[in-house]
Amino acid sequence: MKVSIRHAIVLVVFLFVPSWAHAEPPISLHPDNPHYFLWRGRPTVLIGSGEHYGAVLNLDFDYVRYLKTLAREGLNHTRTFSGTYREVPSSFGITDNPLAPKPLRYICPWARSEQPGYFDGGNKFDLQRWDEAYFARLKDFMRMAHKCGVVVEFNLFCPFYNEELWAANPLNHRNNINGIGNCPREEVYTLKHKDLTEVQIAFVRKVVTELKDFDNLYYEVCNEPYFGGVTLEWQWKIADVIAETEERLGVRHLVSMNIANGRAKVEKLHPAVKILNFHYCVPPDTVALNYHWNVAIGENETGFRGKDDILYRTEGWDFILAGGALYSNLDYSFTPSHPEGDFLDYKSPGGGSPALRQQLAILKRFMEALPFVNMQPDTQSIEHVSPDLTATCLSQHGKVYAIYLHVPLPNKPKNIEELKRRNITAELAIRLPAGKYQATWVDTKTGENAKVEAFSIAGASHVLHSPTFDNDIALRIVRLPER
């Protein structure tokens, strides 16, 4: 068989380009319902319970074991910080904090210089040179996440919550040989200092170029920009740089902005931003506040409520059934010493455990069994629910209804044991069009069907009675085909 030179070149390129470069287009908003994602040809919701964001920047963190754990447990999302921000061991009372690497175990986009004097040992950084070992580690992390079916939220920047965090940062002039960053921490993420802005823009262009071929990726401009003096003008500039760089590269990844802790109504949205992320959404009313933007709405950080699994299980179910597309629990059972998330003796300001991850995987499977791209938040169909319970509903009217019932819990309960309720039997009245239906009650802790019943209705309110449950239960109602 004769092979032309052109065909030989094509064959060589095909054989030696890594397999991940032949993936589907990057995760995007679903064209039929932009409140959800399209990834690898399938409608997608992102559900995760991940480590405290140091998987790449902390050389002691075994991200291979970590990502395999997420895949094995049925989750598909993680959040990682780029290394432009790091923490110290005393930060936020977090036990064995992945974002607080030990001395000489911190790696970031910039190379070390020959000059000693960095914050916790080793040489200062040179903000004009890249650390190629960092980018090799980052891309290996992305390849492993790709293999494990995990979408990565790559967070570019984070404000400095106190002076110690600014003192530890490479952008502080005391930690680099370039004299860049001689300013208050509240001015780092503004456009006041041209040299700082140029370094930040160069980093964004570099990382966007390095990661251009990955389909399991979206960018978040800045974690919690509502702290530390971060300006909206600066955030929009960074979003501009992402969009402009990707336009030149011929690719397009989603861009997220972190909007608020709790809730806020977005008044103006950058055209490149397609994900609105919030923290600590109890209750999840921020979804309804911003649903009109027709973008994905996520809760990408939880915590500060206590350690009990029920807190973050109910938070996740409630947020997703309210119309959210992304829920990622901040899971403190993952540490550098426990990359498989089996550390339970932590004193950190949140929760996380293997049991909780199994429960969140049940939520993911529950959603994947629904035609959720055709569904939307429904506040009209439920007419009545038993006192002391909250019901959240997502529906495709007249065809399928997904309902979550739970004991409402305050954002920061003082005594969670006093609020738990056991052996509940709920009554739910729902208005449905005439037809035959099947109702399936799902145990949110085991994933098993607790009760299945068929019923007919002439077109009015129908009352359903749940099986006995503890604290929360899910319900799926599907209209049956007419014979």
What would the pLDDT profile of 172-184 be if each residue is shown by its tens digit? 999 999 999 999 9
pTM here is: 0.94
Strand order in the sheet with 42-44: 28-30, 33-39, 42-44
Q: Which two tokens stand for residue 355?
A: 């049991």
Strand order in the sheet with 400-406: 376-377, 390-396, 400-406, 472-479, 435-442, 449-457
Burial string for 118-131 (b: 16+ CB within 10 Å, else e) reads: bbbeebbbbbeebb
pLDDT tens-digit series, residues 247-278 = 999 999 999 999 999 999 999 999 999 999 99
In this structure, the number of other CB atoms found within 10 A of the CB of residue 223 comes to 22
Percent of the chain having pLDDT more than 70?
95
With beta carbons less than 8 A apart as the criterion, state whether 222 and 82 touch: no
Confidence label for 16 from pLDDT (cuts 50, 70 and 90): very low
pLDDT tens-digit series, residues 415-442 = 999 999 999 999 999 999 999 999 999 9
Segment 397-401 mean pLDDT: 97
- Give the Å distances, CA to CA, from 220 to 362, 409, 423, 450: 27, 29, 42, 39
pLDDT of residue 23: 57
Return the sign of the alpha-carbon dihedral for residues 439, 445, 446, 450.
negative
Confidence label for 353 from pLDDT (cuts 50, 70 and 90): very high
Q: Which two tokens stand for residue 195?
A: 């040299």
pLDDT tens-digit series, residues 110-153 = 999 999 999 999 999 999 999 999 999 999 999 999 999 999 99
pLDDT over 80 (residue 456): yes
- Write the burial class of residue 483 (CB in 10 Å: 0-12 exposed, 13-18 middle, 19+ buried): exposed
